[in-house]
Structure 1
């Protein structure tokens, strides 16, 4: 089964700026120096902490709106 959908693309392309802002805020909260553009110099731990913080904030927002 072939999947032509890349999970790295936002479902709503217009949301890209908002997602980038959210990612930068999450990185700042966990103390990761994230810059615009290429961030391949981050360790797996640093990148994972940013993603984890983003998920944590999304879950908190969802639970708040229940």
Structure 2
């Protein structure tokens, strides 16, 4: 039987809105139209993976800039 706990819990729950906004910004930059109804079943894995990859890159860049500013 599977456990219903997700390992993808946000450490800062308020960050969810910022991540959602970032998802739409990046999709727009890539020319990918996200459905307004929130159903992503018709989206290609390639498109969704591209969005996720760019989100990760941007978050890493932000963290690196933050760390560089502390030194």
Provide the TM-score with structure 2 as the length reference.
Answer: 0.71
Taking a change above 3 Å as real, the CA distance of residues 8 and 32 of structure 1, as seen in their structure-2 partners, is farther
Q: CA deviation at 1:46?
A: 0.4
Q: How many pairs were matched up?
A: 65
Gap regions ≥5 residues in structure 1: none
**Are residues 63 and 11 of structure 1, via their aligned partners in 2, closer, same or farther at CA, if it must alter by over 3 Å?**
closer
| Counterparts of 1:55 and 1:9, CA distance in 2 | 16
TM-score, L = length of structure 1: 0.76
Structure 2 regions of 5+ residues with no counterpart? none
Q: Distance in 1 between matches of 2:9 and 2:35?
A: 19
Larger Rg: 2
Determine if contact 1:30/1:53 at 8 Å carries over to the other structure. no
Deviates further, 50-59 or 17-26: 17-26
Task: Spell out the pairing of 1:1-66 with structure 2 (5 A cutoff).
Answer: 4-36=4-36, 37-66=38-67
Q: How many Å separate the matches in 1 of 2:30 and 2:14?
A: 26
